[in-house]
Amino acid sequence: MRTELLAPAGSIEALQAAYMAGADAVYIGGSRFGARAYASNPDEKELCAAIDLAHRLGKKIYMTVNTLLRDEELENELYAWMKPYVEAGLHGAIIQDFGVVDLFAKAFPELELHASTQMTVTGVHGAKFLKEIGMHRIVPARELTLGEIAKIHRETGMEIEAFAHGAMCYSFSGQCLMSSLIGGRSGNRGRCAGVCRLPFDVTENGRRMNAENTHYPLNMKDMCTVEILPEMIRAGVYSFKIEGRMKKPEYTAGVVSVYRKYLDLCAEDPENFRVDPEDYQKLLDLFNRDGFNRGCYYDRNGRNLIALKNEKMSNSRALTAQKLTEEIRAGLHDRANLQKLQAGVSGNLYLAAGQPAVLTVMPDLDETGELCCSVQAEGVQPAQKQAVTEERVRAQLNKTGGSSFFFSRLDIQMEDGLFVPMQLLNELRREAFALLEEKFRSQASEEVRPCPPLPSPDAGSDSADSRSASGGDNSGEISGNRKRMYVSVETPDQLRAVSKYRELDGVYLSSELLLPSAGKGAETWKKMAGELLSSGQEVRLMLPYMLRDNSEEAQTKAIREYCSFVDERGAKKTILVRNLEELGLVREIGEGDAVMLDAGFYTMNTRTERFFASLGYADNTMPLELNYKEMRARENERSELIVYGRAPMMISAHCLKKTLDHCAHENTRLVMRDRKGAAFPAECHCDACYNIIYNSLPTSLLQEKEACDRLAVPAVRLQFTVESAQEASMVTEAFVDSWKKGETETAENLSKRTESTKGHFRRGVE
């Protein structure tokens, strides 16, 4: 199977090092819109020159445009910023934001669109959705097993780009708000502060679960898959991605050289594949965090994936790493290596007295001859004294050190007894190479269309209206007592507590309440849900934060059971989906009358909102990283605003309980404390095998009623997670009294008795 070795480039120097070491392609960010804002990203001139280099060498460049964009960035800046790179022949763009997908697909029809790992693709249903909307390649979540990747490839046929080496995130990429909520530096905007690398204490029911030597429960070891490359290829991985855009060129060159060697060995003799211990040690010496793991390709989670001690590099290890780095640095300046940045060409020179000298050149990679070009010049004469030799002519033409090409083959046809000025040969070579460069650029340039206007808000309106979950009159400012108010619950006790408030317009029920593991909770939800429906309130289904193969069957049954239960009572069926896999599943099984996109779909800008609306999914939840000013600038007519709830800081396939203790095979709740004493509740969802780490304080906009009225959202949501029944009741009563009845005493009392945060409502993110 054909493969691609994809290297990181945080600078032009790293890009060149990657190519010299054997990378087939690099991914690099420009000066804007990339997920490594602090890398030495090149400017326009440098990056366009790098794209030219890639085409000459038969390599590829993928641009990282993998952050979430605000309206002014997407509509006023992105197109003009991106246009020169596409015109230069950029091969592809790695994207997180669906508004960017929409703009690029319309403006740059030849540009490959790659779904970033920030899109959190966890299965076949999400991958099929992305294929339908025109994505060429997916970078699935790093948490997937080889079996899950193989299934995606088998059932979609899409190109799979998978991480092979480097740092790993504790959270599913794109689902982490820890750096954002703690310090205002958003990973979704390329500014992650790496808070997960810090120490945390973890307790269960007051019992401390870690000690000083296991003080870093979120600190992932680096991934190294060089020993399992054949298995990855068999699973359908096409592009092997090395992480490390913040690393030095020497690191890039060293890691790429090892993976180049073993991908080539896989192609030659996969049955007898083995890795030399010295090469594995070289990777360790270049960089590691307390050793390596093989990612999640075999293990969904576990202690062996975590660098619990966060050991610092010893003096001997540091010296070894320094020596290796210096050796690689010296090698990068070798003449043989530098020539790898020049493209080989075949040349043919014709010299005859009294006739123009003719130099014809054709790139070695040009199999069609389309790029072949010739130049000529006058000045060849009979020699009056000593004639020039063929060796002298050849030596002069081969002085290509500062150019983009070198002669891999040079045929010279010349008469005897000639005088040939060396300057003439220099000019021939220079003109031929310049013409060849221009032909490369012309061939590489891709179609660029005018910047597409925002899709009409009515695009897909028939489909969107038929699926609407918001209801009500959405025009203009909507006062607090006219807003629809919903509550989401995850436990039977919370459901009992909130069901007495008939002023609520509806309740979101966690699908986990419908699973067999819920026990008597399943009976409770049916009883209480029936009473809510009888009183004219809505009952909506809330799917989990993560969906993978191991929980798909159970969730499908839960969806069908909910739809059947509500349908029997003639009520509307609304399903809250939280990730692409769930959206794809709901689309495919065709259940439900309406779909509500949760905050994790990041409808940060108008184009993303309208993109989903055009597909029939107009109803969405306000993203958690927008501030009030940004919310005001957004289209909110079909949006729901979370006005209370603990924000999910991390959605993780890794399990604190299993890492620090053992797998209990049951849902459990832990508490994680940072160095400042802030306590973050953590829930282990065993049914679907993932963890949620919540913010230390709930976000509450109870005192921001007037501001929320000005946002003109048709509905708000109270989102209960770790709250007790009493806490859920107190909060619900305060919001109902204040926002529905106009009575403020309950709200004032609650504000005095409890601590909360306003999240990003007043501060926003970088």
Taking only the tens place, the pLDDT of each residue in 423-442 is: 999 999 999 999 999 999 99
Which pLDDT belongs to residue 473?
A: 46
Structure-token match 């619950």, residue found: 489
Is the Cα torsion angle 411, 415, 419, 424 positive or negative in sign?
negative
Q: What is the DSSP letter of 452?
A: P
Local confidence band at 331 (pLDDT 50, 70, 90 cut-offs)? very high
What's the mean pLDDT in 95-112?
97
Q: How large a percentage of the chain has pLDDT more than 90?
A: 83
Rounded distance between C-alpha atoms, residue 135 and residue 122, angstroms = 16
Pairing relation of β-strands 538-542 and 506-510? parallel
626 pLDDT more than 80: yes
Rounded distance between C-alpha atoms, residue 130 and residue 411, angstroms = 51
What's the mean pLDDT in 26-45?
79
What residues have CB less than 8 Å from 588, skipping those under 6 apart?
125, 128
Is the Cα torsion angle 166, 170, 172, 174 positive or negative in sign?
negative
What's the mean pLDDT in 248-254?
96
Rounded distance between C-alpha atoms, residue 460 and residue 289, angstroms = 49
Rounded distance between C-alpha atoms, residue 2 and residue 227, angstroms = 18
Which pLDDT belongs to residue 464?
A: 41
What residues have CB less than 8 Å from 579, skipping those under 6 apart?
120, 122, 126, 545, 546, 547, 600
Q: How many other CB atoms are there within 10 angstroms of residue 270's CB atom?
A: 14
Report whether 407 contacts 390 (CB < 8 A). no
The HSE-up count of residue 548 (CA atoms within 13 Å, CB side) is 24
Which pLDDT belongs to residue 180?
A: 92
- Which residue has better confidence, 189 or 449? 449
Q: What is the DSSP letter of 309?
A: S
Rounded distance between C-alpha atoms, residue 596 and residue 583, angstroms = 10
Q: What is the DSSP letter of 176?
A: B
pLDDT in tens, 184-195: 998 888 889 899
Report whether 697 contacts 757 (CB < 8 A). yes
pLDDT averaged over the chain? 93
pLDDT in tens, 565-624: 999 999 999 999 999 999 999 999 998 899 999 999 999 999 999 999 999 999 999 999
Which pLDDT belongs to residue 208?
A: 95
Strand partners, 28: 9, 63
What's the mean pLDDT in 6-15?
95
Using only C-alpha atoms, the chain has a radius of gyration, in whole angstroms, of 30
What residues have CB less than 8 Å from 368, skipping those under 6 apart?
none
Local confidence band at 35 (pLDDT 50, 70, 90 cut-offs)? low
For each of the domains in the chain, give its residue range(s) and CATH number, in order of start: 4-168+220-339 (3.20.20.70), 342-444 (no CATH), 476-644+709-753 (3.20.20.80)
Alpha helices in 36-108 (DSSP H): 44-57, 71-76, 78-88, 98-107
Long-range contacts of 533-537 (CB under 8 A, 24+ apart): 533/566, 533/569, 533/571, 534/569, 535/502, 537/502, 537/504, 537/505, 537/506, 537/507
What's the mean pLDDT in 522-540?
93
539 pLDDT more than 90: yes
Local confidence band at 401 (pLDDT 50, 70, 90 cut-offs)? confident
Rounded distance between C-alpha atoms, residue 152 and residue 140, angstroms = 9
pLDDT in tens, 116-162: 999 999 999 999 999 999 999 999 999 999 999 999 999 999 999 99
554 three-class SS: helix
Counted residue by residue, the chain has a size of 766
pLDDT in tens, 641-673: 999 999 999 999 999 999 999 998 888 999 999
The amino acid sitting at 656 is: L
What's the mean pLDDT in 375-404?
95
**Where in 415-482 does DSSP place strands (E)?**
418-419
> Structure tokens of 270?
């996969």
Nearest to 719 by CA among 686, 759, 677, 751: 759
Which pLDDT belongs to residue 479?
A: 75
Pairing relation of β-strands 620-621 and 639-645? parallel
Q: What is the DSSP letter of 220?
A: B
Q: Is 17 exposed, middle or buried (0-12, 13-18, 19+ CB in 10 A)?
A: buried
> Structure tokens of 8?
């990181």
Which pLDDT belongs to residue 212?
A: 81
Q: Is 24 exposed, middle or buried (0-12, 13-18, 19+ CB in 10 A)?
A: buried
The amino acid sitting at 739 is: W
**Where in 211-317 does DSSP place strands (E)?**
222-224, 237-242, 292-293
The amino acid sitting at 688 is: A
Which pLDDT belongs to residue 278?
A: 97
pLDDT in tens, 345-361: 999 999 999 999 999 99
Which pLDDT belongs to residue 310?
A: 77
Which pLDDT belongs to residue 34?
A: 66
Rounded distance between C-alpha atoms, residue 81 and residue 104, angstroms = 12
What residues have CB less than 8 Å from 364, skipping those under 6 apart?
343, 344, 345, 346, 408
Nearest to 440 by CA among 357, 364, 377: 364
The HSE-up count of residue 1 (CA atoms within 13 Å, CB side) is 18
Which pLDDT belongs to residue 475?
A: 47
What's the mean pLDDT in 629-642?
94
pLDDT in tens, 456-505: 887 554 444 444 565 544 445 777 678 999 999 999 999 999 999 999 99
Rounded distance between C-alpha atoms, residue 626 and residue 603, angstroms = 10
What's the mean pLDDT in 669-684?
96
Segment of 432-436, 526-530, 751-755 carrying the highest mean pLDDT: 432-436
Which pLDDT belongs to residue 766?
A: 76
Rounded distance between C-alpha atoms, residue 190 and residue 426, angstroms = 47
Rounded distance between C-alpha atoms, residue 484 and residue 8, angstroms = 48
Alpha helices in 339-378 (DSSP H): none
Local confidence band at 213 (pLDDT 50, 70, 90 cut-offs)? confident
What's the mean pLDDT in 218-244?
97
